[in-house]
Structures are given as C-alpha cells and as structure tokens.
Amino acid sequence: MTRQQCCVFVAKSFAEAETVAAFLNSEGVPASVIDPSAVGGMEGLSLMAGASTGGREVWVRNPTAAQYARQLLADQAHELRSNREQRTGLIQVDCEECGAMVKFPADKTGTVQECPNCMAYLDVPDPDDEWADEDRAGDGPEGEP
C-alpha cells in the first residue's frame, strides 16, 4: 500500500483527524490516523519529534475504498457548509484569554475565529455538535440565553 492509495484526508490537528477517522468508520469505511513519525522517515517532520508540518493523515485500510471515502468526506463537508451558511443570528463566545464576551454571526459556528480584543483564537461552538464537557455561552438556539 502506498500513501497515495490510502491517504484520504490531511487534518490540521490530531482531534480533527480522529473525528474524520471516526466518521469514516461510522460509515463502514475502516480508517485510522497515521502517526506522521512512522511515515516517510524524517521528511516532513518539524523540530519537534513526531510533529508533521503537513498535518495528521487519515488513511483507509483498504486502498479500493479510498475514492469512496474521499467522496463521503466531500459530501459531508458540503452538507456542513450548507447548514452553516443557512444559520442566522449571533452566537456568543467568552474569550478565555481576556474575558471578553464576543459575538459572531451564526454562520461562523464550528470554526475558529480571532478575538477582536486580544487576537486569541476562539472556538465558535456549533450547536449541532456535542460539547458535553465544554462551557458554552447561552443554552438556547444560536447561543442565546
């Protein structure tokens, strides 16, 4: 098996890669996150051991399922974008760095934005995602109290 046959997604973080692999597995496509230090020797590694500058790769176990997995991911991304774009209103996020309460348009849910006060990165929660252990501003629809 080669990288081109099996790699179906390159994530920006380990959490994103794990989410993608879990999605593919739930759709009946066996997939897993590949440790970047185990693939390709030192090529693509940063100064920190095990940290790939190219991201975390999600591979399917069966190369013949790769095209199907890529199509599943493309369809899912399109659906998420469509759902996000249809949202209206505002969602509140508390900045953990400066304590400011910041409002973002609801179509920014599920993204990472910068706090306009201190420029820290903020996760804008998606009300459709499970955030069981996370603090969220507001309990109502679109983050309103």
pLDDT in tens, 64-93: 999 999 999 999 988 877 776 777 788 899
Backbone angles phi, psi at 26, to 5 degrees: -65, -25
User: How many other CB atoms sit within 10 Å of the CB of residue 4?
Assistant: 8
How many whole angstroms separate alpha carbon 110 and alpha carbon 66? 26
pLDDT at 130: 52
pTM, full prediction: 0.51
User: What is the phi-psi region of residue 18: left when phi exceeds 0, alpha when psi lies from -120 to 50, beta otherwise?
Assistant: alpha
Query: Look-up: residue for tokens 């590694």?
Result: 45
Give the pLDDT confidence of 90-144 residue by residue, as tens digits.
889 999 999 999 999 888 888 889 999 999 999 888 766 654 444 444 444 444 4
